[in-house]
Amino acid sequence: MQKTILITGASSGIGRASAELFHKNGWNVVATMRTPEKEEELTKLDNVLVTKLDVQDQSSINNAIQQAIDKYGKIDVLLNNAGYGLAGSFESMNEETIRRQFEVNVFGLFAVTQAVLPHMRKEKSGMLINISSVGGRMTFPLFSLYHATKFAVEGFSESMQYEMEQIGVQVKVVEPGSVKTEFAGRSLDFQHNEELAEYNELIHKVTSGFEERRKEGAGSTPDMTAAVIYEAATDGKDQLRYRAGEDAEQLLTARAGMDDVSFRDMIKQNFSL
């Protein structure tokens, strides 16, 4: 029987690559996004439903899930992919900025998950795949709030396994490293008040370091991460975490083998701090 995946944040990057890959492999795909009226390519594909879902809008979440069930009868996999990065000096962040980072990356994920669970509980089957990051297991300078949200996703996912086991649902986490997506463009919100001069040298060194890596072509493609997501959805393994990208493998292996001070010193050395 043809399976169905619902993907949040499917307009670009990892979400879009995943929609295309699952479709290519014969799945029904519910590709959700905030502005589906702008989508031109996915709408042309058979067995792909493009519809509106804003993780900060509960009615749009409920409508998208109902449309998926009405069209395909069942949601086998929920891919919680929608999110963005917030970077900069923490002291520069206002309350609205801080809250939005959590509203999208954490509370939005919670809202979509909670809305789909009654359906999966009724079916006694399903899978939740949550997109985390290497930044859910270790940290870089200036990403304190983004890391806080991804650490939350990791803890939520790990604990949810116990509950989901009772209703036949699996939980999996995909941890990409650096990915060549619009995360570094429109999906990155960078904020720093230069009047807080004590942070300016750190800001310069860290942003220069990331820019240099970008120019060198560092990071994996969205397609590579989508392939790991597809593996997680189809390998039949009782496995929680999946690393996506060579740098993810290297960083997380290094983090696991170092104490806190040694790892911090390594990161500082990499950014010449």
Q: Which active-site residues does the annotation give?
A: 132, 146, 150
Per the listing, tokens 């942003």 go with: 207
Helix (H/G/I), strand (E/B), else coil: 124: coil
Of the candidates 53, 54, 145, the residue with the CA atom closest to the CA atom of residue 102: 145
Alpha-carbon distance of 112 to 9, in angstroms, equals 12
- Torsion, Cα of 210, 212, 217, 223 (10° steps): 10
Of the candidates 117, 24, 35, the residue with the CA atom closest to the CA atom of residue 69: 117
Angle at 207 between CA 201 and CA 211, to 5 degrees: 145
Alpha-carbon distance of 18 to 20, in angstroms, equals 5
Alpha-carbon distance of 200 to 261, in angstroms, equals 24
Alpha-carbon distance of 99 to 162, in angstroms, equals 29
Of the candidates 98, 97, 100, 68, the residue with the CA atom closest to the CA atom of residue 83: 100
Angle at 85 between CA 81 and CA 87, to 5 degrees: 165
